[in-house]
Amino acid sequence: MTNYTPTEMMTVTAARALGNQDVCFVGIGMPSAACNLARLTHAPEITLIYESGTIGTKPDVLPLSIGDGELCETAMNTVPVTEMFRYWLQGGKITVGFLGAAQLDKYGNINTTVIGDYDNPKVRLPGGGGAPEIATSCGEIFLVMKQSKRGFVEKIDFVTSLGYGKGGDDRASYGVTTKGPSRLITDLCIMEPHSVDKHFIVTSIHPGVNRDDIIAATGWQVEFADEIAQTPVPSDHELQILRDLHARTNAAHEGQ
Amino acid sequence: MTNYTPTEMMTVTAARALGNQDVCFVGIGMPSAACNLARLTHAPEITLIYESGTIGTKPDVLPLSIGDGELCETAMNTVPVTEMFRYWLQGGKITVGFLGAAQLDKYGNINTTVIGDYDNPKVRLPGGGGAPEIATSCGEIFLVMKQSKRGFVEKIDFVTSLGYGKGGDDRASYGVTTKGPSRLITDLCIMEPHSVDKHFIVTSIHPGVNRDDIIAATGWQVEFADEIAQTPVPSDHELQILRDLHARTNAAHEGQ
Amino acid sequence: MVAQFMSLKNAVATCVQDGDVIAMEGFTHLIPHAAGHEIIRQGKRDLTLIRMTPDVIYDQLIGAGCAKKLVFSWGGNPGVGSLHRLRDALENGWPRKLEIEEHSHAAMANAYDAGAAGLPCAVFKGYRGAELPRVNPNIKFIKCPFTGESLAAVPAIRPDVTVVHAQKANKKGDVLFEGIVGVQKEAVLAAKKSIITVEEIVDDFADIPFNAVMLPNWAISTIVHVPGGAHPSYAQGYYKRDNAFYKAWDNIARDRDSFKDWIDQHVMNGGPEDFATRLKMHNAKAEA
Amino acid sequence: MVAQFMSLKNAVATCVQDGDVIAMEGFTHLIPHAAGHEIIRQGKRDLTLIRMTPDVIYDQLIGAGCAKKLVFSWGGNPGVGSLHRLRDALENGWPRKLEIEEHSHAAMANAYDAGAAGLPCAVFKGYRGAELPRVNPNIKFIKCPFTGESLAAVPAIRPDVTVVHAQKANKKGDVLFEGIVGVQKEAVLAAKKSIITVEEIVDDFADIPFNAVMLPNWAISTIVHVPGGAHPSYAQGYYKRDNAFYKAWDNIARDRDSFKDWIDQHVMNGGPEDFATRLKMHNAKAEA
């Protein structure tokens, strides 16, 4: 099964970053697909938490919204949303949070609020939701996002959620003690933060992608690591599981 | 059934102060007996709440401790103790709180902490427990306590819980907006706060008690209202229900 | 003070006044859509609408012109895309200009918690390095008096009326929530008045667990029996989420005219009894 | 990081160090008496003991000389009277001087909540007009940044070890609490390490309600199977409170020698397996 889409490549790569010991705060869309793929392949003991209050959920189909019944029915436990944000997220119990963005800068700061001016937006986006505190309370953050010049920008229009701020020690200056965005997984490559300055550096390139593709899809000056890996391709097994998951999901959502 | 003890008189009088609409924060001992007597006689719809988290409980026997299984088994709902103190008590959902004291002053301030100096106590009492916030968060407070010169004192050794403070508007000066101790029910009489100064005034005397009995059992200068009622005697029905309740309770606790 | 059973029309007419601050909650689950329609039908105006996720229910209220202000933390159609009526109001002021007060989920959840707890504000570890505090004066920072740590503070949410949907009431008016319970209990406890629509009214709650999520009748103003009243949201144990409707809403709401037609047809000329019917159609389709 | 099943001896030896800050919770219900005995048996010293209601369990630990400091809100034998060992320590410094940090229930409950929530302090409407703030420097007041209202603040409780008892664990190490759940969940979430003794270990939790009070295995350090381990407290669904023992304790603890004899006989020369036996005797007596 050598055929796979860039989105599948991205999803499988994100899934592989997770392990059995992880407690993940899962968002809707790609993060949900990646986390459940991990659960259905190499990390059956992974704990998936959705902000609707479901702890240790094992959905058979992906939820369309963050609080679908499937999540609760398959969860170990469902708690009030107040408790989810207070005891579990703020309480520091989550090892990994997944975030995406409309705009992202090279320090992993993200914008999901507005394009343009806050008071006179060109495009009004949904807003932060759980992200501002997910970004600071989870042990580390995996950013997952398709690359484009429009999305990967030098300066984001609004800092919805903190990454490394202005870089270096800036993140800690806000009283934040968690690690921050430790990897950025795109449809083209994997980037990781520079050990000191914290800007993202390309450390692994997906098969069939070249450096110019990445540069052309990035609004900041791309830096490449001295040694760059090639991201392993999705296995047949992973692709099969992922496609089955999506097929079940589509069938279920159409039926509803 | 003309024979009744002063404690029975006090319990029945306290019970009669409660109605179907009340939501009571019930303490162990006399308050528990009075609240359940009310429930088993004229106020079957009264809501009894114990600080262990049991809401709308209807125990068949009185609990020895504030969290006996009987309370949970007969409750409408049992919530965590954090929720009990945060949403229900502090949230202002309780209409009446019952408190007793080791020492009480004429403004209804109570001491359940120490006799003597705090750091070198003559007698170390159990402490405040729920009382400091019960005293300020409940709609009103009923104080129930046997009268004695040792208990009804001019100056209490430690202000565990606020009554009317130094009197007048002093209670409100602490940011407290609830009514405070609106009646004091003893084994001898009922006292109510003066409309302006808020010191307790005897407004009803139990049958067979005379003014000198009250004066002799009170450490502050007793004030009597211009018109003083005679407290109605317990009915046969009330006494029967109360005695049955105590009999069931004693049998149950012995058996355990 | 004890919960009164009444019709949805009466409940909304009695509890909701023009200019009120209203919270309608339900986190994906148990969203009180029937009550939302009734508020539109009664032409309530100048409402401040509070909700963590103002999805389709508030898109409808905003598009229908009921709202003066929105307090929220995530405004989208989950898994589908934008709320077009919300965006039209924010970007173009249609049908009227909409003020917003924007928070994070953590802030809103803590603010409901504080409201239920009778506190004037919520204190939490939030908004660190985030830009919302620049544009929302209702986000402040205080210092922990013991450690000096900076903590975010937001005002408690204390709605005039909270509207939620639940699975069951018993005849005394106690209410039971099961499954994803969101912030509903907090929102009701934080409010001056409440309207709770329920799927079912039962004689009593036999055999429910000791630690169920419940509200006693004396903590509720009004209860309304509206089977299907959460549709297109869902009620665990009763019916599933109508995901197809959420997807269809994207097209309905994209255009002002098609939105108005939909509101005329399904809200202005409809009633709470339609929800049971809609549910039957949805279930029939799901089984087909 | 996932909960480990071990013997009570190992759990206490592994988790509890001299000088630790320990919370042992259970509000009348599910008090971890067997674990308390094990701490005495292992001769732990200089502990800071936290508990809302330091009843018989802490009277034993204090009388046995394990405690340097007590953080509490109500210190009595409920419905019976004084805790004589606690009073002897406070009034006479026997067997050693005991520092105290005294709060109200509301303060302690909020402080556990804050600990679970990762906050440095709890903010609440408390201690208004009360005198404890004069003698306890860990009670401060802050102002609401929106209303100016004065609010009490206390440090969050963050124990080194929390010890609680629960009804059930499953084989994966998830734990279920039912009935009066007190502050146990908060106390475990607030702690660096935890010991949970349970009545029963089951294969899995089939058919438990969606919204049960639970802790997942990754939020727990150690689980110990100790049937009867809450006696003379009780475990809803398993056994009743041994009220007669609580009354008998009054006489046992009143006198230093009779207390020491009791500890020698029942604790120093006993073990966790005695609790199942004690339970059988208690149940036999109750049925007689």
- Domain CATH code at residue A93: 3.40.1080.10
Pick the catalytic residue from A51, A70, A133, A238: A51
User: Which chain A residue's Cα is nearest to C55?
Assistant: A126
Residue A243 lies in domain: 6-249
Taking Cα atoms as reference points, which of B70, B12, B72, B62 lies closest to residue B42?
A: B12
- pLDDT of A196 over the 80 cut: yes
Which residues have a Cβ under 8 Å from the Cβ of C93 and sit 6 or more positions away? none
Which residues have a Cβ under 8 Å from the Cβ of D154 and sit 6 or more positions away? D103, D107, D110, D111, D121, D122, D124, D138, D139, D140
Taking Cα atoms as reference points, which of B104, B92, B127, B89 lies closest to residue B186?
A: B104
Of A89, A129, A159, the CB nearest to C130: A159
- pLDDT of C281 over the 90 cut: no
| Mean pLDDT on A25-42 | 92
- pLDDT of D275 over the 60 cut: yes
Looking at chain A, the number of H-run helices and the number of E-run strands are 8, 14
* Chain centre to alpha carbon of residue C4: 20
What pLDDT is stored for residue B221 in this prediction?
97
* C241, C249, C278: best to mutate for the A interface, most A CBs within 10 A: C241
B256 lies in some domain: no
Q: Count B/C contacts: CB-CB distance under 8 Å.
A: 43
| Mean pLDDT on C106-131 | 98
Chain B contact set for D133 (CB, 8 A): none
Across chain C, the runs of DSSP E, i.e. the strands, are 4-5, 21-24, 47-51, 67-72, 99-102, 121-124, 140-143, 150-155, 161-170, 175-177, 193-202, 213-215, 222-225
Tokens of B215: 């004066």
The residues of B annotated with a catalytic role in the active site are: 51
CA pair distance B4, B14, nearest whole angstrom: 15
B144 lies in some domain: yes
What pLDDT is stored for residue B28 in this prediction?
77
Does the distance separating the beta carbons of A51 and C241 come in below 8 Å? no
CA distance D237 to chain C (A): 11
B85 lies in some domain: yes
Q: What is the DSSP letter of B244?
A: H
Q: How confident is the model over A76-107, as pLDDT tens digits?
A: 999 999 999 999 999 999 999 999 999 999 99
Looking up tokens 């509903």 gives C184
Does the distance separating the beta carbons of D244 and B256 come in below 8 Å? yes
What pLDDT is stored for residue C223 in this prediction?
98
Domain ranges in chain D are 4-45+158-287
Q: How confident is the model over C190-241, as pLDDT tens digits?
A: 999 999 999 999 999 988 999 999 999 999 999 999 999 999 999 999 999 9
Tokens of C16: 């909701």
A255 lies in some domain: no
User: Which chain B residue's Cα is nearest to C214?
Assistant: B77
What pLDDT is stored for residue A174 in this prediction?
97
What number is the ipTM of this complex? 0.97
Does the distance separating the beta carbons of A56 and D216 come in below 8 Å? yes
CB burial of residue C199 (10 Å; 0-12, 13-18, 19+) = buried
| Mean pLDDT on C71-91 | 94
Beta bridge pairs of residue B47: B23
Residue D281 at interface with chain B, using a CB cutoff of 8 Å: no
B255 lies in some domain: no
Q: How confident is the model over C19-63, as pLDDT tens digits?
A: 999 999 999 999 999 999 999 999 999 999 999 999 999 999 999
Q: How confident is the model over D157-186, as pLDDT tens digits?
A: 999 999 999 999 999 999 999 999 999 999
Q: How confident is the model over B85-108, as pLDDT tens digits?
A: 999 999 999 999 999 999 999 999
Does the distance separating the beta carbons of A176 and C128 come in below 8 Å? yes
Does the distance separating the beta carbons of D211 and A91 come in below 8 Å? no
- Please state, rounded to an integer, the average pLDDT across all residues of chain D: 96
| Three-point CA angle D240, D242, D246, nearest 5° | 145
CA pair distance A161, A10, nearest whole angstrom: 22
Q: What is the DSSP letter of B232?
A: P
B164: confidence class by pLDDT, cuts 50, 70, 90: very high
Identity of residue C49: L
Which residues have a Cβ under 8 Å from the Cβ of B21 and sit 6 or more positions away? B45, B46, B95, C1, C2, C218
- pLDDT of A64 over the 80 cut: yes
CA distance B18 to chain C (A): 16
- Counted domains in chain B: 1
Residue C243's alpha-carbon distances to A51, A255, C133, C153, C282, in angstroms, are 19, 9, 35, 36, 10
A177-191, B239-253, C269-283, D89-103: range with lowest mean pLDDT = C269-283
Tokens of A236: 């047949």
Tokens of D194: 């935890």
| Mean pLDDT on D40-66 | 98
- pLDDT of D278 over the 90 cut: no
- Please state, rounded to an integer, the average pLDDT across all residues of chain A: 95
A1 lies in some domain: no
Q: Please give the helix or strand (H or E) that residue D199 lies within, else none.
A: strand D193-202
Predicted TM-score (pTM) of this structure: 0.97
- pLDDT of C287 over the 80 cut: no
Tokens of B30: 């006399």
Does the distance separating the beta carbons of C118 and B137 come in below 8 Å? yes
CA pair distance B51, B28, nearest whole angstrom: 10
Among 3.40.50.880, 3.40.1080.10, 1.10.3720.10, 3.30.70.270, what is the CATH number of C4-45+158-287?
3.40.1080.10
Chains in contact with A via at least 3 Cβ–Cβ pairs below 8 Å? C, D
Q: How confident is the model over A152-178, as pLDDT tens digits?
A: 999 999 999 999 999 999 999 999 999
Does the distance separating the beta carbons of C117 and B76 come in below 8 Å? no
CA pair distance A12, A83, nearest whole angstrom: 31
Asked whether C79 and C246 are in contact (CB, 8 A), the reply is yes
Does the distance separating the beta carbons of B124 and D79 come in below 8 Å? no
Q: How confident is the model over A205-216, as pLDDT tens digits?
A: 999 999 999 999
Q: A224-230 and A140-144: which strand pairing? A: unpaired
Residue D218 at interface with chain A, using a CB cutoff of 8 Å: yes
Looking up tokens 């005679």 gives B230
- Please state, rounded to an integer, the average pLDDT across all residues of chain C: 96
Chains in contact with B via at least 3 Cβ–Cβ pairs below 8 Å? C, D
C252: confidence class by pLDDT, cuts 50, 70, 90: very high
Residue B11's alpha-carbon distances to B6, B251, D262, in angstroms, are 9, 20, 38
In A114-173, the residues whose Cβ lies within 8 Å of chain C are 118-119, 121, 123-124, 126-133, 135-137, 158-162, 165, 170-171
A57-66, C121-130, D2-11, D249-258: range with lowest mean pLDDT = A57-66
- pLDDT of B189 over the 60 cut: yes
In D239-268, the residues whose Cβ lies within 8 Å of chain B are 240-244, 246-247
Chain C contact set for A133 (CB, 8 A): 104-106, 125-127
